[in-house]
Amino acid sequence: MRRALVGSRSFGEFVSVGEETLIKAGFEVRRVRAEERPLDASQMTRIVARESPDVIICGAEPITEEVLRASRKLRMVMKHGVGVDNIDLDVATDMEIVVAYAPGRNAAAVADFTISAMLALLRGYCEASNSTKAGGWKRYMGHELGEITVGIVGTGHIGTEVVKRLGGFGATMLAYDVVKNADLESTYSVCYVALEELLETSDIVTLHVTLSQETSNLIGARELEMMKESAYLINTARGELVDEGALYHCLKERRIAGVALDVFATEPPESSPLLQLQSVLATPHIAAYTYEAMARMDRTCAETILDTFSGKRCPNVLNPAVYDSFRA
């Protein structure tokens, strides 16, 4: 019997379709125990060596060379999500281990969350709620989403869904991406500009790019200095996209109006000074957490695993050359 080791916190946690699909197909599904977390590389290596899985369904835990070599049976790593910066793809490819992910399955959920963060920042929802519950009755002034300029950094699956939703509000949209989407330009009047112009012009800047060497600390002290004092920053992508030290000093000195952070460089961010600032709207990496998104991602993960082990080629595999030598 083939074995799937689930390191992802969310696979099978909220919906059962993915786990049930694997079990029905004859897989044994084993989960990392709660008491074994948090998962660093050493801990993950020990668990993989103990469980000897054929496939790892991972979340954000490190899938290093040591982890990949810990199970002689390992043939596949399936990311329950999009970002694969935690997986050593080069080593996996050298070892003829298939690596796949679930692109676009959580795009609607993250886009909805992003729009809600924009509205919360523009209208001061959190401050108004806290004030009212404390006995106050202050009238908070805000701005209309349709009357501002929004800068979207990254127009992949999620950025595209953000654009579609913003179109209904009538916001002016700028975008920055190494690859331009002509459909967004023609249908939603998105204007692609240099990152510097986007930062200087936008009232809200929202990040939707993957983490890589090129995008690490994409928003640092220099970039924050370019933004308007009245502008807001939203990050629902990866914490490492933003230099958190520079962001803290920028907010402390009131050089931008505020931020909404669903992701942090270290999670949970227990010691982050950002959590002490009133201008920070912080949430626990939940932008993708809807039952609908989880069902789509779980199903995609299970179906990709089953297709791969049955000899089919899947479009969401990141190292398709491995298929030529794949041994189920």
CA distance 154 to 144: 23
What are 266's two structure tokens?
Answer: 């270290």
Q: Which of 238, 244, 296, 303 is catalytic?
A: 238
Element (H, E) at 162: helix 157-169
Q: In angstroms, rounded to a whole number, what is the distance separating the alpha carbons of residues 65 and 70?
A: 9
Q: How far apart are CA 67 and CA 80, in angstroms?
A: 17
Distance CA 114, CA 126 (A): 15
Whether 80 sits among the annotated catalytic residues: the reply is no
For 226-244, give the DSSP string.
Answer: HS-TT-EEEE-S-GGGB-H
Contact of 298 with 15, CB cutoff 8 Å: yes
Catalytic member of 80, 105, 285, 296: 285
Cα separation, 261 vs 235, in Å, equals: 5
Which residue of the set 147, 196, 267, 292 is catalytic?
A: 267
- Helical ranges in 192-287 per DSSP H: 195-201, 221-226, 244-252
Has 285 been annotated as catalytic? yes
Sign of the dihedral defined by the CA atoms of residues 298, 301, 305, 310, in that order:
positive
* Catalytic center residues: 238, 267, 285
